[in-house]
Amino acid sequence: MSVVLNWNGKEVPEELRDLPKGRYVLQPVDDLRDLTADEDTGLAEALKSLLQGKGVESDVVFARIESKLRR
């Protein structure tokens, strides 16, 4: 789920008030950087793997991410 919001730096935006309880990561869109060559290659390899049927179920992926966030 993605939520795009505009923030004046002081008041809590309505978009945040509407989100369910939970942990979130916010990153300014204006500060996005280009992928490194290694990141680009990694994504291409991951896509190739998915197309070959070597994917991992989303619940497994989310469990792995959640366990790393708890550290």
What pLDDT is stored for residue 1 in this prediction? 64
Per-residue confidence at 70, pLDDT binned at 50, 70, 90?
Answer: confident
In terms of phi and psi (left: phi > 0; alpha: psi -120 to 50; beta: otherwise), the region of 51 is: alpha
Q: Domain coordinates of the chain in residue numbers?
A: 14-69
Question: Which is higher by pLDDT, 16 or 47?
Answer: 47
Average pLDDT of the chain to the nearest whole number: 87
pLDDT of 13-43, one tens digit each? 888 888 888 888 887 777 678 899 999 999 9
